[in-house]
Amino acid sequence: MTSLNHLKTFALLAAMTALFALVGHLIGGATGMAIALVLGAGVNFLSYWNADRIVLSMYGAREVSDSDADPLVRRYVEDVMELASAAGMPRPKVTIMANDQPNAFATGRDPRHATVAATTGLLRMLERREVRAVMAHELAHVRNRDTLTMTVTATLAGAISALANFAFFFGGDNRQERPGGVIGTIALMILAPLAASLVQMAISRSREYEADRVGAEISGDAPALASALEKIDTFARRGAVNLAAERNPATAHLFIINPLAGRGADNLFSTHPSTSNRVSALIERFGGRQAAAPQKQTRRRGPWEPPQGPWG
């Protein structure tokens, strides 16, 4: 699984870089393509090492600990640490976002450098077992090594959109000399970000089902995850706006539920599978909706952990 996810990540980076180069070619021919390739390599490097910090800063996420003054935050930190230990994972950094919309995401290039983030709305509006189930889902993304791919795509998609917009607004008179002229430039501005978004959507949707499954196993409480998904989706639909997500739509796929104003339909243009489909998949795999007591798990050594010594 780890090697397959690495392969997917490198394939995605290659696809995004190729798209970056294509946009550069349409902007400035061979010279533009060469410049775009250099920029693309720089963005890839930056994304690998710093994309998590970039995304966390977008949402004003602050690191918290079990000594926080807020009892809800202390409980949240304690639960994340307990879940990570039970799953045999390195303990991640735990952060909080000041936002009324209940939601959460995980980021980081590997399990040893992972961070989970939850909104204040999630801690206030959901029951404790539901919050635990949501964070178990995010830890599943970490264990499955989805976080690198999902965070890198957010950064690259934003860069591609910015480059396409640059081509339209600052391209100058040479737009007439490009393939397709002005019409081609307008098409580029629309289609390049769309292509990047479609790659994001296809990847993130398939990984959400798997993270639901693994997260339910980590928490031992599939009904709580199903309930949490429905509650978060309901709040998002009723107008609990996430302004940071609205300003950075390329990051929407990171969250457990789409933070943007959408209908959650399971179609080509959704960043997430429909919530009803996800809940149905959980019920089909784990049984009915009745409450389940969390299952005690035995700590397992993760593939990232050295044979001896600390996590590193």
In the chain, DSSP assigns E strands to: 62-63, 93-97, 104-107, 115-119
Residue among 135, 173, 164 nearest 256 (CA): 135
Nearest 5°: the CA angle 241, 63, 42 is 80
d(CA 148, CA 49): 10
**Torsion sign across C-alpha atoms 95, 160, 273, 9:** negative
Q: Which residues of 261-291 are buried (b: 16+ CB within 10 A; e: fewer)?
A: ebebeeeeebbbbbbebbbebbeeebeeeee
Residue among 211, 234, 49 nearest 140 (CA): 211
Residue among 121, 107, 92 nearest 47 (CA): 107
Within 10 A of 18 (CB to CB), how many other CB atoms are there? Answer: 12
Report the amino acid identity of residue 79.
D
Catalytic residue among 82, 127, 130, 138: 138
Nearest 5°: the CA angle 55, 254, 311 is 70
Q: Is the separation of the CB atoms in 235 and 101 below 8 Å?
A: yes
The question of whether 217 is a catalytic residue gets the answer no
Beta-bridged to residue 63, according to DSSP, are 95
φ, ψ for residue 104 (rounded to 5)? Answer: -165, 160
Residues serving a catalytic function are 138
